[in-house]
Amino acid sequence: MIGTAFVQGVGTSSFGRQPGVGAPLLAQQAVGEALADAGVDDVRDIDAVFAGTVFGAPGTAQRMLQLLGVTGVPVLTFENACATSTTALHEARQSVLSGRFERVLCLGVETMTLHFAGPITPEHTDAEGRAGLALPGVYAMVASRYEHLYGLEPKALAAVAVKNRRHGALNPRAQHGAEVTAEQVLASRMVADPLTLLQCCDISDAATAAVIGRGRGVDRDVPIAASALRSGELWDHRSTHPWGYELMARVAGEAWHEAGIGPGDVDLFEVHDAFTIGEITATEALGIAEPGGGGDLVLSGHTALGGRQPVNPSGGLLSRGHPLGATGLAQIAEAVWQLRGEAGQRQVEGARIAAVETMGGGTAGIDGNGCVVVVLGG
């Protein structure tokens, strides 16, 4: 076993609704940047590719890679809902640690506008999807349950959107780079009570990439201190917590244990804010706040840039948009830039440790399709 795996390079395409740009071109943008960032001049130095896409056609990864000249190596394609490309990274890290591969290219891609004009269509082979429970409804149910258990002020939900859009305004890659006010957030069109339009991430077309490898004595390489991955347990009449909370908490606990640190040691977080309530429950599951304390946490400024522990300094999914299979590595890229001090105006001063959490869902009866928590730096 190798002691530590490192992120040697990251890259992304542009983010946004770009229906005229196909997956191969998006991938070339992301992979080209990641390879250059890693200082990998020859693609023959890539031993394997771990790709991720949720809605891509069979062969999507190979179709992109042949145009990059990345051929003849093992190519594995992962699907784990929103956590797809962080799952690929988790598995790439394990492969490097085990010695199976020396250097793995991770690639996430999604062309959402090819499939959807608006919200993702619920899966009709799923009991709740067949009943019309689209993903905004899933998270609205989280908010409903959370409000029943702890109370939930609309201003707390709005504060997440305001904060992340403020952060996104500092991110030139963000799909939505304009700041919004709490009044605008709450006055925007209701999507699924109590979640308004500006509390929901947009769909996006994008690709993201990361090069994972062994230590090579390069200062810019970022160590992966821990990563954990699980799918949800049965989530049924016995469950009292909102959807996803217990899965996120379990995975986070494993990641903290492996890293030998706690959430208080982390300088910044990138978490899955597909909907505002998702960030509130994630901050609690990660242990930044006690259960029921996530609203006060964001209202206090603790999680804003300039606060004690910024959450989603990139602007999160609410600003960047959500190209499902590419989102996880976009979070990883932001963490890497932050830890290198390359995040520009949104730089978290003195950042040494970052944590990334990605939560994927869409299957009725379990507490999430998959959740990944990655700890970087240290």
Instruction: Say which amino acid occupies 1.
Output: M
Tokens of residue 154, six digits: 């609309």
Among this protein's residues, is 322 annotated catalytic?
yes
| CB closer to another protein, 321 vs 378 | 321
By CB under 8 A, tell whether 124 contacts another protein.
Answer: yes
Q: How far is the CB of 300 from another protein (least distance, A)?
A: 26
Q: Which is nearer to another protein, 101 or 235 (CB)?
A: 235
Residue number, 8 or 281, with CB nearest to another protein: 281
Q: Which of 141, 182, 186, 261 binds another protein (CB under 8 A)?
A: 141
DSSP code of residue 256? H
Instruction: Name the active-site residue from 82, 106, 200, 201.
Output: 82
User: In the beta sheet, which residues pair with residue 109?
Assistant: 207
Instruction: Give residues 259-298 in contact with another protein (rule: CB under 8 A).
Output: none
Judging by DSSP bridges, how do beta strands 103-111 and 370-377 pair with one another?
unpaired
* Interface positions, 335-354, toward another protein (CB under 8 A): none
Whose Cβ is closer to another protein: residue 42's or residue 125's? 125
Count of positions on this chain that bind another protein (CB under 8 A): 46
- Chain positions 22 to 41 lying near another protein, rule: CB under 8 A, are none
Stretch that binds another protein, among 43-51, 118-126, 159-167, 175-183 (CB under 8 A): 118-126
Quote the tokens at residue 338.
């932050």
Q: Least separation, in Å, of the C-beta of 163 and another protein?
A: 24
Q: What torsion do the CA atoms of 304, 308, 313, 318 make, to the nearest 10 degrees?
A: -40
What is the SS3 assignment for 80? strand
Query: How many other C-beta atoms lie within 10 A of the C-beta of residue 194?
Result: 17
Q: Rank residues 133 and 266 by Cβ distance to another protein and give the closer one.
A: 133
Sequence-ordered alpha helix ranges (H) in the chain: 23-38, 60-68, 84-98, 127-130, 135-150, 154-168, 182-187, 245-259, 276-286, 294-300, 316-320, 324-340
Q: Which residues contact 56 (CB under 8 A, 6 or more apart)?
A: 23, 77, 109, 110, 111, 325
Using rule CB under 8 A, residue 114 touches another protein: no
Whichever of 183 and 236 has its CB closer to another protein, that residue is 236
Task: Choose between 322 and 346: whose C-beta lies nearer to another protein.
Answer: 322
Instruction: Write down the catalytic residue from 167, 241, 272, 322.
Output: 322
Distance CA 337, CA 347 (A): 8
Whole-number minimum distance, CB 329 to another protein, in Å? 19
Give the DSSP letter string of 29-45.
HHHHHHHHHHT---GGG
| Beta-bridge partner residues of 80 | 82
Under rule CB under 8 A, which residues in 173-192 are in contact with another protein? 189-192
* Binding-site string for another protein from residue 65 to residue 94, where x marks contact by CB under 8 A and - marks none: ----------------x-------------
Q: Quick check: 340 and 9 in contact, CB under 8 A?
A: no
- In this chain, which of 121, 153, 218, 262 binds another protein, going by CB under 8 A? 121
Q: How far apart are CA 229 and CA 254, in angstroms?
A: 9
Given candidates 26, 134, 158, 339, which one binds another protein under the rule CB under 8 A? 134
Task: Please give the Cα distance from 239 to 180 (Å, whole number).
Answer: 36
Of the ranges 6-14, 44-52, 112-120, 167-175, which one interacts with another protein (CB under 8 A)? 112-120
Residues that bind another protein in the complex, under the rule CB under 8 A: 54-55, 81, 118-137, 140-145, 147-148, 189-194, 234, 236-237, 239, 242, 324, 362, 364-365
Q: Which residues are catalytic?
A: 82, 322
